[in-house]
Structure 1
Amino acid sequence: MRLGIKTKPEHTPWRELVDVWRAADDIELFESAWNWDHFYPLSGDLTAPNYEAWTMLAAMAQATRRIRIGCQVTGMIYRHPAVLANMAATTDVISGGRLEIGLGAGWMQQECDAYGIELPPLRQRFDLFDEGVQAIIGLLSQEVTDFAGTYVQLTGARCEPKPVQRPHPPVVIGGTGPKRTLRTAARWAQQWHAGARSPEHWRELDDVLRAHCADVGRDPAEITRSVNVRVHAETGIEPAVEEAAGYREAGVDLVVFNLPHHVPAGYLDRLATAAAPLTG
């Protein structure tokens, strides 16, 4: 099993976030670091600060040297897919080829209402998502892209410079919807990120993904399967490592430890020591 970390970009001074990502960058055990794509905090005081995902990734690309970086996951509804493709290409160049492109359909009604962003009904949202994923991959991998979708139209569209990673940075599809999300993951993803409730729930979802892979002629071994495990400030590191062990037994490839706010100095060293047996 491989390991990563995730920081909540809410309720936290910028310098603390940079320090955590740099600490993870110095620990070889952690292969990736992640944030989320929201404009409001998801907990506590909703008027408190929450950093924007992609400008944060670009800054973290400069602040780190080794660790892979990504967003779990970018809401397709927030940015036009062509704009997002250009952001991703630039961020991959800044990072020297360390970007993972996390993509999801989007869901936060409160943010959409506040900013006047349309949150389409579920079916249309996933139609937009499917078109957006294909458009982004085309822009990142082809010199010129034409796309005639219902929601996305590209005509002789270019995205330059191209990303360092070819044909494009790995696409991470996040979600658990058995009919649409997992089908899209089977077709396009290099990583599927599941918000599973338990290892048993994850196994059920993985069976669905494998069935979709069979339908589209894809080898499921080509797709990294990842989950988040939350490290609670109240209970500490050991219960999270125990939970991660359960996912390892179930067959998960990558566990991302979702860290509490205000991680103190030395915390990641202690987490790495406790979690190291998972990688053996």
Structure 2
Amino acid sequence: MTHPLRIAVQIQPQHADYAQIRDAVLRAEDAGVDAIFNWDHFFPLYGDPDGKHFECWTMLGAWAEQTSRVEIGALVSCNSYRNPELLADMARTVDHMSGGRLILGIGAGWFEKDYDQFGYEFGTAGSRIADLAAAMPRIKARLAAGNPAPTREIPVMIGGGGEKKTLRIVAEHADIWHSFGDVETLTRKSAILDEHGTAVGRDATAVERSVGVSEPPAAVADALVAAGATLFTIGLNGPDYDLALTEQWVRWRDERAADAP
């Protein structure tokens, strides 16, 4: 294993007042998670489609000031919603605000309602993936040109599972790959990612594997770890943001660490 086991939460910015979101961030950091994510949408993804919702990057700036230990980021930012250079400068700024705790999550985008309601061209899956591929070098160039420079080489997390194109972008540019699907999907696509790494001249086995989990660790953790996953994220919905499952995963992480030689 090349990466430590880490536990994250995705505090979904829907169906809650901001005070409830702020409280959930506080409780999650106190519970011992390693990272706190939100998501980059403009409307709820489930429940009341017109329910309460808040914007991603404005929130990350607030989290940078509120938190002191955890890494923060979007799982994941939509590449379509911001010019790549602007996104890079936003990331650099939040990196400094947080003292070097930002993870730059990014994906090609998929939620058509966001595009339609906010005036973005939806295009096709192919065009959105091509746009992501074109954006990544621009983002990295702008990060390198910023003054002051980022506090660290900001880790890039790419979410998606397209085997021919998206995983190639992951192999070229990502430090973390967030996959979607079951253990069998993770295993198969992880091998494809490694093949893309060979094709682009990069050791993609070093890319951290990230997955979402919705069951207790006793049910799924061993199989996911065996498949290569080391970053486990529990999705939390408003308004309650129940941390019960998260606390089980934090205990599991700590027990595994205590048992390590």
Q: Secondary structure at the match of 1:192?
A: strand
CA contact (8 A) 1:90 1:161 kept: no
CA contact (8 A) 2:6 2:253 kept: no
2:56 to 30, 48, 53: 53
Residue 6 of structure 1: how far off its partner (Å): 1.2
Q: Deviations 1:173-192 (Å, cap 9, x if unpaired)?
A: 11000011100010111111
How far, CA to CA, are the matches of 1:173 and 1:44 in structure 2?
Answer: 26
User: Structure 1: any 5+ residue segments left out of the alignment?
Assistant: 144-158, 232-237
Residue 124 of structure 1: how far off its partner (Å): 2.1
Q: Percent identity?
A: 33
Q: Deviations 1:21-59 (Å, cap 9, x if unpaired)?
A: 22222244x211111100000011111111111111110
Residue 265 of structure 1: how far off its partner (Å): 7.6
Q: How does 1:28-177 map to 2 (within 5 A)?
A: 28=32, 30-141=33-144, 143=145, 159-165=146-152, 168-177=153-162
CA contact (8 A) 2:110 2:125 kept: no
Residue 123 of structure 1: how far off its partner (Å): 2.3
- The answer to whether 1:273 aligns with 2:258 is no
- The answer to whether 1:251 aligns with 2:254 is no
- The answer to whether 1:192 aligns with 2:169 is no
TM-score (norm 2): 0.90
- Say which structure, 1 or 2, has more relative contact order (CA 8 Å, 6+ apart): 2
Over 3 Å counting, the alpha-carbon distance change for 1:16 and 1:241 in structure 2 is farther
**CA RMSD, 1 decimal:** 1.9
Aligned residue number for residue 7 of structure 1? 11
CA contact (8 A) 2:29 2:70 kept: yes
CA contact (8 A) 1:103 1:173 kept: yes
Q: Secondary structure at the match of 1:253?
A: strand
How many residue pairs match? The answer is 253
Aligned residue number for residue 200 of structure 2? 216
User: Structure 2: any 5+ residue segments left out of the alignment?
Assistant: none
Aligned residue number for residue 20 of structure 1? 24
CA contact (8 A) 1:23 1:268 kept: no
TM-score (norm 1): 0.84
Aligned residue number for residue 164 of structure 2? 179
Q: Deviations 1:240-269 (Å, cap 9, x if unpaired)?
A: 652233312222121111124313587754
Q: Secondary structure at the match of 1:117?
A: coil
Q: Secondary structure at the match of 2:109?
A: coil
CA contact (8 A) 2:177 2:210 kept: yes
Please identify runs of 4+ aligned residues in structure 1 that moved more than 6 A: none
Residue 114 of structure 1: how far off its partner (Å): 1.4
2:186 to 199, 202, 210: 202
Residue 62 of structure 1: how far off its partner (Å): 0.6
